[in-house]
Amino acid sequence: MADTDQSADRALIERTIAAIEGPDHESSAAVARAFDGKVKPVRSLGQLEALAARVAGIQRTTTPRVDSPVVLVCAADHGIARTGVSAYPQEVTAQMLAAFAGGRAAVSILAHQADAQLVVADLGVVEPPQLHPTHAYAPVLDRRVRAGTDNSAEGPAMTRAEAEQAVATGIRLAEELVEGGADLIALGEMGIGSTTTASVLTSAILDRDPARVVGAGTGVEGEALAHKVEMVDAVLARHEDVEEPWDVLAAMGGLEIAALAGVALGCAAHRVPALLDGFISTAGALVAWRLAPAAADAMIAAHRSTEPGHSMQLQELGLTPLLDLQMRLGEASGAALAIPLVRSSLALLQDMGELADLGRDDAAPDDTAPDDVAPDAASPAAPDGAPPHGG
């Protein structure tokens, strides 16, 4: 890559991080108060009220809207996948890209149900998919940084310049979507072997025991699961001296996770809610938070994946998931499912009647404090100290 491209990537990343101003708590509080005046018992819409208040804070308006949601699936391959850590072979990544584009994958159906546009971005699948005219349901954007990462148990997954390029590519994707009118972006991913990479990053960034972080992924059990934990241990041991966040990302990978970190940063800078899917998408969110803690204020957790590390990530980011359906599919399926919930919360805010109009004067208690209604909206703690690999 030319030096000029590299410095353009760095400048974009710096500019984006500097533009993140955090949520508007006054808009959140105003929305919470507005809900207290609606025709219902106070706080009876539970998390839906907090959800609308959070979107209001992110969009910095008392009239939040989600009219043009986009489901973005970032895809790439992982060198570590060739060490027997997944229940499926690597070529499935490219095959699934064709399935997304053909409109028959789970996320194709769920994005359609949610009236959301599906966009797929190839950050570095080993063999790009063969697409035909019938693959017209969703575009597959060529944003390839390289053809898959290297095996992180043997060396760095990628160079630091490639990690920066992948993050900058994610920022550019978010910017293009926002320029095209997207007012919410659902973050999803596809890549065989990615739960191993996400486990490595989560263990490193949160300083957790890999044995407690690693889960079944696509369905590894028994001895295969023990081998997966050993591989995560091996990657962490191979890079035990790496601490600075960018070096952690480059050493451990992956390309789509780096891009999703960039998308999360871009969303935060452009006041667009980033609706997180499962364990791998949230690994991208964790990287974004590590680079810019305030980016977490623009995130909404769609669901809780069955991967044990996902709950650890969400806790650290201060996020309460909207759904818990024991899903572990990825590809933005859980995020797509939560889009109608977000829209419903905003429709309730906009269209419900007022208790006052019923002639009641016990409408709204005057003790409403923003912290009461949006437990989720509190800023998560900035990463403190210098955990191993955490920088």
Task: Catalog residues that contact ligand DMD under the rule CB under 6 A.
Answer: 88, 92, 96, 190, 218, 329-331
Instruction: Enter the tokens of residue 59.
Output: 């969009």
User: Do β-strands 323-327 and 274-276 pair in parallel, antiparallel, or remain unpaired?
Assistant: unpaired
Contact 293, 380 (CB under 8 A): yes
- 191 near ligand NCN, rule: CB under 6 A: yes
Strands 299-301 and 274-276 turn out to be parallel
CB of 195 to ligand DMD, least distance (A): 9
**Do the Cβ atoms of 207 and 388 come closer than 8 Å?**
yes
| End-to-end Cα, the chain, rounded Å | 26
Structure tokens at 64: 């939040």
Place of tokens 């939560």: 338
Residue type, 315: Q
Two tokens, residue 21: 């101003």
- Identity of residue 78: H
Kindly tell me which of 19 and 141 has the beta carbon lying closer to ligand DMD.
141
User: 245-284 mask for ligand NCN (x: CB under 6 A)?
Assistant: --------------------------------xxxx----
- Out of 23, 124, 193, 254, point to the residue binding ligand NCN (CB under 6 A): 193
Q: What is the dihedral of CA 323, 327, 330, 332, to 10 degrees?
A: -30
91 in catalytic set? no
Stretch that binds ligand NCN, among 31-39, 153-161, 185-193, 342-350 (CB under 6 A): 185-193
Which of 91, 244 has the CB closer to ligand NCN?
Answer: 91
Q: Is 331 in the site for ligand NCN (CB under 6 A)?
A: yes
Region label for 76, one of left (φ > 0), alpha (ψ between -120 and 50) or beta (otherwise):
beta
Per-residue binding string, ligand NCN, 310-329, x by CB under 6 A, is x-----------------xx
Nearest approach, Cβ of residue 293 and ligand DMD (Å):
29
State which residue, 37 or 321, has the beta carbon closest to ligand NCN: 321
Q: Which of 14, 179, 331, 354 is catalytic?
A: 331
Q: Provide the annotated active-site residues.
A: 331
Where do contacts with ligand NCN occur on this chain (CB under 6 A)? Answer: 86-88, 189-196, 217-218, 277-280, 305, 307, 310, 328-331
